[in-house]
Amino acid sequence: MTTLNYDLAVTYYDETRGFRAGVSERYRAAVRRITEAEDGTRFLELAIGTGLIGLPFMAAGDDYIGVDISRGMMRQIAPKLHDLSPPALAQADITDRLPFAADSFDVVQAVRVFHLLGDWRRCISESRRVLKPGGHLIIVEIRRPSDTSAPPPWAVVQDKWGEILRDLGVDSASIRHGNGLTDDMVLNHLCAVGGDTAMIDLLAFDELPVSCRTMVERRAKRMFSNDWALPEDLHSQAARALCEWLENECQRADDFVQQRMVFRAVIARF
Ligand SMILES: C[S@@+](CC[C@H](N)C(=O)[O-])C[C@H]1O[C@@H](n2cnc3c(N)ncnc32)[C@H](O)[C@@H]1O
């Protein structure tokens, strides 16, 4: 799989991937606690996007730099900071050489991006290069807690969408959300390259509520990165089948459900 530039998602990213008020601030507090951050701690965020994670760090005056491959996504950040000083940002492919000197940062974090990367091992080796000795590398994905019972609407629609695409002959690698990377694969790799590692749930939070109808509409509008490579006619055919399923078979299509999720972090110190 190739790098995914989110320029396509700029106009709807915050609406579809945003958090309830206060979640990003609690995330910042959890990261600062776990890394024992102090006033001079230097942070780098890989794939900062529109700043949904980074903004509270920047707004609080942390020494915080973000990189992303998408200038469009990063352009959304400055207006959100209002009168504060402009954010420190750089365009870079995080699976290539990072534009920073060795031993520059105390904390390097990457949230909701490793599942999109091709050469994720290169990203880890570059992160190690720019980390100071003893610094923290934090790789975070959002997961359902292990004790979750009924699947939430987005998971129901995602499964149905996969079934429809398979019936239309799309291969399973294209249907899968992302590169198939698991937290254990990241953890094992970090151990293998000499990291002192841990996997923890940094924070539990409630997602913004969604219904199956909302998720079907988002699929039909191609709002998910794993649909971007589908040919237009195939996507339209699949979207029609999904809408038919919603109207005729889906249980509780309009119930809004708020799912409990966790920020699961794989952390390494070198
Ligand atoms: C799902 S968004 C996550 C953004 C942010 N971390 C968040 O949690 O809201 C993924 C981001 O990764 C960026 N991205 C994907 N591949 C990248 C790469 N190879 N180098 C830099 N950024 C990349 C995309 O442009 C997008 O902004």
Nearest CA to ligand 1 atom 27: 49
Q: Report the predicted TM-score, pTM, of the whole model to 2 decimal places.
A: 0.94
Q: What mean pLDDT comes out for the span 107-136?
A: 97
If asked whether residues 222 and 122 sit together in one domain, one would say no
Closest CA to 157 of 213, 236, 230, 112: 213
Specify the residue for token string 């841990």: 198
Concatenating the DSSP letter of every residue in the chain gives -----GGGGTTTHHHHH---TTHHHHHHHHHHHHHT--TT-EEEEES-TTSTTTHHHHHTT-EEEEEES-HHHHTTHHHHTTTSPPPEEEE--TTS--SS-TT-EEEEEEES-GGG-SSHHHHHHHHHHHEEEEEEEEEEEEE--TT--SPPHHHHHHHHHHHHHHHTT--HHHHSSSS---HHHHHHHHHHTT-EEEEEEEEEEEPPPB-HHHHHHHHHTT-SGGGTTS-HHHHHHHHHHHHHHHHHT-TTTT--B--EEEEEEEEEE-
Q: Which atom of ligand 1 is nearest the CA belonging to 118? A: 19
If asked whether residues 171 and 62 sit together in one domain, one would say no
Query: What spacing in Å lies between the alpha carbon of 167 and ligand 1's midpoint?
Result: 30
Query: What spacing in Å lies between the alpha carbon of 193 and ligand 1's midpoint?
Result: 24
If asked whether residues 203 and 233 sit together in one domain, one would say no
If asked whether residues 12 and 101 sit together in one domain, one would say yes
- Which of 7, 58, 65, 69, when mutated, tests ligand 1's pocket best, judged by the most ligand atoms within 8 Å of its CB? 69
List ligand 1's pocket residues with C-beta within 6 A: 3-6, 17, 47-49, 52-53, 68-70, 73, 93-95, 111-113, 116-117
If asked whether residues 40 and 130 sit together in one domain, one would say yes
Query: What spacing in Å lies between the alpha carbon of 3 and ligand 1's midpoint?
Result: 9
pLDDT by residue (tens digit) across 187-210? 999 999 999 999 999 999 999 999
Closest CA to 16 of 219, 158, 179: 219
Sorting pLDDT into bands at 50, 70 and 90, what band is 5? confident
Q: What is the domain-level CATH number for residue 46?
A: 3.40.50.150
Nearest CA to ligand 1 atom 12: 47
Q: Which atom of ligand 1 is nearest the CA belonging to 7? A: 25
- pLDDT value for 3: 56
Sorting pLDDT into bands at 50, 70 and 90, what band is 2? very low
pLDDT by residue (tens digit) across 126-179? 999 999 999 999 999 999 987 767 889 999 999 999 999 999 999 877 777 788
If asked whether residues 36 and 161 sit together in one domain, one would say no
pLDDT by residue (tens digit) across 30-80? 999 999 999 999 999 999 999 999 999 999 999 999 999 999 999 999 999
Structural domain boundaries enclosing 247: 146-178+212-254
Specify the residue for token string 């002192």: 196
Q: What is the mean pLDDT of the chain?
A: 94
The total of structural domains in the chain comes to: 2
